Amino acid sequence: MQKYIVRRLLEVIPILLFISIVIFIILNAMPGDALLQMRMENPRSFANDPEALDRLRAHYGLDQPVYVRYGVWLGKMLQGDMGYSSTYRVPVLNLLRSRIPNTLILTVTAWLIGLVVALPIGIYSAIKKYSVFDFMATGFAFVGISLPHFWFALMAIIIFSVHLGWLPISGMSSYGVTGTWDVFIDRFRHLILPACILGFVQVAYWVRYIRTALIEVMNMDYIRTAYSKGITRKKVIFKHALKNALIPIITILALDIPYFFGGAVIVETVFSWPGMGRLMYQAVLGSDHNLAINCLIFLALVTLMSNLMADFLYAFVDPRIRYN
């Protein structure tokens, strides 16, 4: 197992290198750069000296070929220098340190909400196959899959924030709130809407996968054998059927972790949540390539680590799986 872990971790390095090349080429193929964005925001900034834009472009190496710029960027990255954000005028590392915890709070909460809601619904829907509850759960799943995040987010804001006034519209905290307990309650209230929207949309997918995986296992011969031995229905479902259905369920739950970070781009933007998703959206919108590439590489790293975690959980839930 240790050799397998080391080998998989070493495989991450060339994969991340290839991903960084693709991201760098795509971002630099986009029209415009940070200097042109600056000129668009303030057209008079270079009015007195039109050649200043060319000098700045030469100073920052933006006039060099893309492979030269990538080599310079990679060399700085290997030294731990992520560069500066042209939008925020601060080091990129400082931005990532301040935004990653906020995104983790949102995504982990949403993931737990989705798991707590989807698991019992999917199990009960598989047990009561073709019942009224099963048809309702399937209908809910199709509706959830069909409607996008931003629609749910806007409807939630209109209902719970505008009309009812129960929860804050946006942000992560309210101005002027002091005291440990008051701050905790305030941040919890700000977290409810974005976490629920991000989690409940994913419930629609998970219910279908959990239901399908469990129904497939319950049609196996060893399940019928367990019933013929007089084992109770509850024990057959939770000890035999559900345990053997965990492999596809783990695949979905683990590999959907990057989806939460990707979905957070929309949810964080709608709710003005100061996380990685909103940061990445603003970086791409503002042609802040240095910040955007680091955000996208972070998302790629989360995806690779999720795949690795899924492989480890396979061996944990199924003793027949061995990694050499």
> CB within 8 A of 125, min separation 6: which ones?
133, 134, 137, 138, 207, 210, 211
> Among 200, 194, 196, which Cα is nearest to 103's?
194
Where in the chain are the domains?
2-78, 92-317
Inform me whether the pLDDT recorded for 185 exceeds 60: yes
Per-residue pLDDT tens digits for 201-257: 778 778 888 888 888 877 777 777 777 777 777 777 777 777 777 777 777 777 777
Per-residue pLDDT tens digits for 243-267: 777 777 777 777 777 777 766 777 8
Q: What is the C-alpha to C-alpha distance for residues 241 and 152, in angstroms, rounded to an integer?
A: 34
Structure confidence at residue 1 as a pLDDT band (50, 70, 90): low
Beta carbons of 90 and 84 less than 8 angstroms apart: yes
- The count of C-alpha atoms lying within 13 angstroms of the C-alpha of 99, restricted to the half-sphere facing its C-beta, is 25
Tell me the pTM.
0.75
Q: Does domain 92-317 have CATH number 3.30.428.10?
A: no
Q: What is the C-alpha to C-alpha distance for residues 249 and 49, in angstroms, rounded to an integer?
A: 61
> Among 241, 214, 196, 45, which Cα is nearest to 134's?
214
Per-residue pLDDT tens digits for 57-81: 666 666 677 778 788 888 888 887 7
